[in-house]
Structure formats: structure tokens, C-alpha cells
Amino acid sequence: METTIAGQIIDLNNEGYLTDLNQWNKEVAAQIAQEEGIELTDGHWPVLEYLQEQYRNEVPLSIRKVGKSGVVDIKQFYALFPGGPLKKASRIAGIPKPASCI
């Protein structure tokens, strides 16, 4: 599904996640964050970069992994992305929704 975000044409899947990380940039992130009710601050970017790096290295992500990353602890992660931190942060970072079972 193609849509326009921050003036660019972006491919999204049916749950609103980017299907191509190459289409991601900071303006796109800021607008998706706004849809999630989040105003991106200096504290958010290192987390988003960490998630993207893990994704590129094919490392499966979990809240615990983010909590042990040294970038943020779990409480800070929740404070930055209230609700479902990993789900929301992944969407804003332009990477797929974290895998889960069925």
C-alpha cells in the first residue's frame, strides 16, 4: 500500500509498518510518531538507531534486549514510547513489527 508521508511516497503494510527501510528518514519518523501520539525528542533518536542497527544485523528484538542495550532501560523505554514501546518504536524506526507467534 502506497501512501504519502512527509511529502514522500512510502510503502506501508496493512498494519502501517514500512516495508522498505530505505524509504525512512527523520521527517517520516516524526510524522509516524505524531500518529502514535509521540513528539520525538533527543532521547528518542538513539533508540530508533539502535533498533535499525539490530534489524540490519537480523537480530530478533525484544523489550528485554532493548532494556539491556545500554541505550535505555525498560522504564525509560516505556516513558519514551508509552503503550507498546517495542511495537511503536519499531513502526517509527521503519522496521517490521516485532515477530511473535500466531
* Rounded-to-5 percentages of helix, strand, coil across the chain: 45, 10, 45
Which amino acid belongs to residue 56? R
2 lies in the site for other proteins, by CB under 8 A: no
97 part of the interface to other proteins, by CB under 8 A: yes
Rounded CA-CA distance 102/74 in Å is 25
The reply on whether position 99 binds other proteins by CB under 8 A is: yes
d(CA 71, CA 63): 12
- Per-residue binding letters, 19-58, with other proteins (x by CB under 8 A): ---------------------------------------x
Residues that bind other proteins (CB under 8 A): 13-15, 17, 58-60, 62-65, 68, 74-75, 78, 82-84, 87, 96-97, 99-102
